[in-house]
Amino acid sequence: MGILVDLAVYSASSWDNDITAELVSKTADGANSSNWAKCRDAAGSTPCEDNSVWSMTTSEEVTVQVAPNPFDPQKETSEIKVVAPFDASLETRIYDLRGRLIKNFNSSFTINWDGTDEDNKPVPAGPYVIVVESEQAGKTKHYRFPIAVARGMR
C-alpha cells in the first residue's frame, strides 16, 4: 500500500549483517536513530513477534536464565538467555571451576549449549560458570552464573 511507518537514518557499519534493527520500546520515536537497537533473538529478527529488545531489563544489572540446569547433553541442550539493558554490549563465556575457558559465545544473547568445548569435544560432567562481561556507558562489569553438565543422570 506504500504507507511509511518508520524511518531512521543510520550508518550501515553500525549493524552486523543479517541482524535487524528494532525499536527499543513501543512508544519510542522511530525517527530518532538512538531509539533503535540490534535484535537480540538468536534468529537475528523477530517477524510477527514483539521486538526482542522490548523484553530487556530496565535496570543496569544483567541476569541469565538457564534451562534445563543441570542438563544431560546426550539428551538435550541447555538454553542460556542473557537479559540485559538494550544499550549494553556483552561477551558470554563458559569456564570450568579452575578458570579455564571452555566455550566462548561472543556477543550472543540466546545460546543453546550442547555441553561441548571450543573444539566441539564433550566436556566432563560437573559444575561450570557462565561469565557475562557487560559494557555499558564505558563501564565494564562481570556477572557469574552456575550451570552443570549431568551426563547420564536424567
Place of cell 556507558: 137
28-32, 74-78, 116-120: least confident range: 28-32
Contacts of 118 (CB under 8 A, 6+ apart): 101, 102, 103, 104
Domain ranges of the chain: 12-55, 63-149
Task: State the average pLDDT for the chain.
Answer: 82
| Region 63-149: CATH code | 2.60.40.4070
Q: Give the pTM.
A: 0.68
The tens digit of pLDDT for each residue in 44-102 reads 777 777 776 665 555 667 889 999 999 999 999 999 988 887 778 889 999 999 999 99
CA pseudo-torsion sign 84, 89, 92, 98: negative
Give the angle subtended at the CA of 42 by the CAs of 37 and 45, to the nearest 5°: 50
Between 40 and 68, residue with greater pLDDT: 68
Q: Which amino acid would we find at residue 101?
A: L
Q: Is 8 exposed, middle or buried (0-12, 13-18, 19+ CB in 10 A)?
A: middle
| 47 touches 70 (CB < 8 A) | no
Contact call for residues 142 and 129 (beta carbons, < 8 A): no
Mean pLDDT calculated for residue range 115-134: 96
Residue 124: is the preceding peptide bond cis (ω within 30°)? no
